[in-house]
Structure 1
Amino acid sequence: MQTEASEPDRQFVTALARGLEILRCFDAERRMLGTTEIAHLTGLAQPTVWRLCHTLQKTGFLNAVPGKEKLQLGVAAIALGGAALAGQEALEVIRPLLQSLADRYQAAVALGRRDGDSIVYLLRCQGNSPLLMNLRVGSRIPLFHSAIGWAYLACCAPEERSGLLAQASASGKGGADAAEQQAMAKALALYPARGFVFHERPQYQINTVAATIELPVGERYVVSCGGPASLLPQALMLDEVGPLLAQLARELQPILLMGRHV
């Protein structure tokens, strides 16, 4: 979306952007949504949401859920997603590499890409631990409140990072307390030397490390490894898991680069 401070873009179709924003509301955790929920998630007025959802239903991108006052993604949206996944054989090559790390540390290992103010999981592999969060492919992880998001930010130019933070703050999604802001600043500052970021969530007893995979023209993937602090204490994450993840990121770079041309 354009910000109020930006110059008007004569080629930008606001109605189309709003419709796409509605489609982004649906993910693995939010498969069915009502129009009130969509209005809350997008910040759009209810009448606008009604009109856009009506259009998306007419064009097959949304369907009404039988017996419920909710909507779900339609065949057209699913077909579009399938087209986007075509040629993604590189992900299947990467999966066993992620699973190997997950099994070694009884952790959750994920590969993702940024979409707006979130990182969307493209792959997720889990080791043998009952304490891991129930996330899956398609889950959206907050950019400013996660290791995988911090890793992405660590490789942004300062002006790009500031722009993302300004957008998140304007939408009310970028708020962080002083302790988290300080932790993020420290993690980003240490990234060039470490090759990864470390993020701890004491309230959930979870520790995570993450690294960026940079491709040409500013394209980036991010990979993370995390789990219970009891199994993955800070010292282990900093001395062993983090460096291994940074090495994995380097190994994945040529695979993903090759996948761009499939």
Structure 2
Amino acid sequence: MPQAFATGREPQRGRAGTLPDLIEGEDGDRQFVTALARGLQVLRAFRDATEMLGNREIAERTGLPKPTVSRLTHTLLTLGYLVHGDDGERYGLGPAVLALSAAFLRQNSFPQMAKPYLQDLATAVQAHVALGLLDGLHSVYIQLWRGVGQTITLSREVGFHLPLARSAMGMATLAGMDEEQRAPLLARLRAESGADWPRLDETIARCTAEVAEQGFCIGLGIWHPEINAVAAPVHSPGARGLFAINISGPAFLMTETALRAEIGPKLMATIDRMRALGIVD
């Protein structure tokens, strides 16, 4: 049986997961429906499809008052976007959310076309391979593969969010943008990071240079001290959104030498295979 690799307490998502981040353009916009934004933010509070949350936890993650959260969860429960847990007090994502996800994937054929190549990559490197998509100040896993025969696994699933400025996947996503796309995100990250910005800015610059030079960047413990990763941005013709491919695993296995000399080049070879077939630009 594969061994689960426990990573301890999950790093905080910070203000990127709160309501003000989602509705920052509300003021003066007469077309903006605040109630709808708040309902969607409740759904965004769930970090993966298996998580069960109570109203108090949702309020903490969204920054919304608990009475408001109670009304929103009741409405979303009635509409099928949430379901009750066994205790009748906590909520999980409902089938209506799955229907939206399925519709998105039908409109974006790239994840399905990339599936066999990324599964082969996961088996070749014996590590987690994730396909992520930009979501606000995060990258969200939309597909995840584990290597056939992999003995050590990380407890992450589809829907998991990684902070944009504190993960290899996020850094690769930023590096894959043009200046017009990147500038407003960097401004938001700078405002959110405060005194930590100079260090993050240095990491972003390093990763951007690595992607420009070799197509991928590495993250040594930047999301979690016990996890290393390598990631690369990918563009698919006609696809909606900006994708990145991430390979991650325990730091004692995925050393800097292995990432730079073996795993990163295998990632780029997989991307080249897909490029030769027109799957990516």
Same fold at TM > 0.5:
yes
| 2:32 alignment partner, SS class | coil
Could you say if the C-alpha distance between residues 190 and 174 of structure 1 is closer, same or farther in structure 2, counting changes exceeding 3 Å?
farther
State the 1:221 CA deviation: 1.0
1:193 CA drift (Å): 1.1
The answer to whether the 8 Å contact 2:133/2:241 transfers is: no
Q: CA RMSD in A?
A: 3.0
1:238 aligns with 2:237: no
Q: Which runs of 5+ in 2 are unaligned?
A: 1-21
Shift of 1:141: 1.7
Range with greater deviation from structure 2 (116-125 or 148-157):
116-125
Distance 2:178 2:187 in 1: 14
Match of 1:123 in 2: 143
- Which residue does the alignment assign to 1:74? 94
Match of 1:182 among 199, 202, 217: 202
Question: Is the 8 Å Cα contact of residues 150 and 188 (structure 1) preserved in structure 2?
Answer: yes
2:141–2:157 Cα contact (<8 Å) kept: yes
Instruction: Compare relative contact order (CA 8 Å, sep 6+) and give the higher one, 1 or 2.
Output: 2
Letter in 1 for 2:279: I
Map 1:80-229 to 2 at 5 A: 80-86=100-106, 90-127=110-147, 128-168=149-189, 176=196, 179-201=199-221, 204-215=225-236, 219-229=241-251
Question: Deviation at 1:189?
Answer: 2.5
Does structure 1 residue 42 correspond to structure 2 residue 62?
yes
Cα displacement (A) at 1:169: 5.9
**In 1: Cα distance, 2:219 partner to 2:194 partner:** 17
1:26 has 2:16 as partner: no
Out of 81, 86, 101, the residue aligned to residue 61 of structure 1 is 81
- SS of structure 2 residue aligned to 1:249: helix
Over the matched positions of the two proteins, sequence identity in percent amounts to 37
Unaligned runs of 5+ residues in structure 1 are 258-262
Q: What CA distance in whole angstroms lies between the structure 1 residues aligned with 2:189 and 2:72? A: 24
After the TM superposition, list the runs of 4 or more consecutive aligned residues in structure 1 that deviate by more than 6 angstroms: none
Count of residue pairs brought into register by the alignment: 255
Amino acid of the structure 2 residue aligned with 1:42: T
Deviation, 1:146, is 0.8
Greater mean alpha carbon deviation, residues 210-219 or residues 10-19: 210-219
